[in-house]
Amino acid sequence: MQYKLSEIEPKEIMPGYYGKLVHTQNTSLAFWEVEEGAQVPEHSHMNEQIMHVIEGEFEFTLDGTTKVYHPGDIVVIAPHLSHSGKALTPCKLLDVFSPTREEYK
């Protein structure tokens, strides 16, 4: 299967988080455009997650430790580990989830 990112319609998954989503049998990709100030409340999930900051500054709390991430930074989030985040500026992020993030379909 083949996709063009420019042709994928974004979905607002949570306030201020617009994702262009690609799902396979075992993986989900979420290409986010995030409004400044938009927050992800603390949560955890069964999926392993890799977050890549493409543009902007993103404050991210992982297992109680908060850091600010910049373009080129990558964070690996183990399954069931508590995390939250906030866009300090408008951001573009890429999240990769395994297994597939069914609730994003």
Give residue 54's pLDDT: 98
Interatomic CA distance for residues 74 and 51, integer angstroms: 6
User: What pTM, to 2 d.p., does this model score?
Assistant: 0.94
Q: Where are the domains of the chain?
A: 10-102
Give residue 1's pLDDT: 87
The CATH T-level fold of domain 10-102 is Jelly Rolls (2.60.120)
Give residue 31's pLDDT: 98
Mean pLDDT by 10 residues, the chain (105 residues): 95 97 97 98 97 98 97 98 98 98 93
Give residue 22's pLDDT: 98
